[in-house]
Amino acid sequence: MKYINEFRDGKLAQGLARAIAAEVEPDRRYHLMEFCGGHTHALYRNGIMGLLPENIQMVHGPGCPVCVLPMGRIDAAIALANIPDVILCSYADMLRVPGAKGTSLMQARGQGADVRMLYSPRDALEIARQNPEREVVFFAIGFETTTPPTAMALLEAQQLELSNFSIFCNHVLTPPAMRGILAQPNVLLDGFIGPGHVSTIIGMQAYVFAAHEYGKPVVISGFEPLDLMRAIQMLVRQLNEGRAEVENEYTRAVPEQGNLRAQALMEQVFEHRPEFEWRGLGTIPDSALRLRECYADFDAERRFDLQIDNASDHRACECAAILCGLKQPRECKVFGTVCTPEHPLGACMVSSEGACAAYYTYGRYQERES
């Protein structure tokens, strides 16, 4: 067992497709949000959208950290990279996203800034060790999956007394973002597919508020096509039976409590920001992390006295409505014309995991034919 191909079997997918079709109530519409951008991508890439009954509508959530990072923060990272002696490191996805001034980190590199692509935050420590006379800044982004690795890297840097290493922290949190979506007026949403890898860290308890306070079922799902189809079936069943519970489809990887060691590390290193701006969704309280006071020496925002400007998306951009299930990408005037993956105007087009980008790459022709 390699835990990949076994969960992509076409025959089993047919069975699940028929099971879903048999269970949906014909005169009911099901609005299901896959929160995670990885799920959005998997739904399109594997053709699952074409296997679902017409009355199941998938709403593509904001769970793509590259997409939801405000442009002002990208501009701040570019400003950092342009400081002489700074080496700015980040994940590949982050480097091609343009900021408010139309420039990306990749372009800044072309103009002479020292920007490096990382696989792991540990690589940034290695760069700091090899360049003691330079300032190495890790532009940290991501949900609860990348946050514990950032915490581990920081503690290792402290242990190694790497005084030339700092972190520009942009880590964001899944449950407050779900709450932020549920609090939007007119949101059209019946249940959530919970992000599988985030859940390996935070566990099942973190979603109970959605079920209990908002009456929305949550089913945590793996990333293979059979996982997603089974999660959709489980959501349909909960809705038909009038239940709102947190269930786990991804039992092979997600323990009920999550990863307690990782949770303790996050708690040790980070604290909640009172509020944080999400591109496409606006300001959401308690939805992001910053370094605790005791790690201030490693905080790039303080070390470089960073200015973060407000920068709003293009007025024609419909990202907010798309992320709340009120509109589909095709209903946005700029989709596929002015706003494309090469020149994204709004959050959902920014990375391959954004709703509009996935739709642009895999979905738009299928729908046109039908």
Partner 1 sequence: MCLALPARVLKLQDANMATVEVGGVQKDISLGLLEDVAIGDYVIVHVGYALSRIDEEEARNTLAMFAEIEQRFCREDSQ
**Which residues of the chain form contacts with partner 1 (CB under 8 A)?**
1-4, 6-7, 9, 11-12, 14-16, 18-19, 22, 36-38, 63-66, 91, 93, 118-123, 141-143, 145-146, 148-149, 152, 195, 197-198, 200-201, 223, 226, 230, 249, 251-255, 259, 261-262, 265, 351, 353
The minimum distance between CB 120 and partner 1, in angstroms, equals 3
Closer residue to partner 1 in complex, CB, 98/258: 258
Q: Tokens representing 299?
A: 């905080």
Closer residue to partner 1 in complex, CB, 167/326: 167
Q: Are 226 and 187 in contact (CB under 8 A)?
A: no
Closer residue to partner 1 in complex, CB, 77/326: 77
Residues 6+ apart with CB under 8 A from 15: none
d(CA 8, CA 21): 19
The minimum distance between CB 146 and partner 1, in angstroms, equals 6
The minimum distance between CB 307 and partner 1, in angstroms, equals 26
The minimum distance between CB 96 and partner 1, in angstroms, equals 13
Spell out the alpha helix ranges (H) of the chain: 10-23, 37-45, 65-68, 71-81, 92-95, 105-110, 121-130, 147-159, 174-182, 196-202, 208-214, 225-240, 260-269, 300-303, 319-323, 355-358, 364-369
Q: Are 295 and 154 in contact (CB under 8 A)?
A: yes
End-to-end CA distance of the chain: 38
Closer residue to partner 1 in complex, CB, 2/368: 2
The minimum distance between CB 9 and partner 1, in angstroms, equals 8
The minimum distance between CB 347 and partner 1, in angstroms, equals 13
Closer residue to partner 1 in complex, CB, 255/282: 255
d(CA 41, CA 184): 24
Closer residue to partner 1 in complex, CB, 120/337: 120
**What does each C-alpha distance from 307 to 30, 248, 286 come to in angstroms?**
43, 42, 21
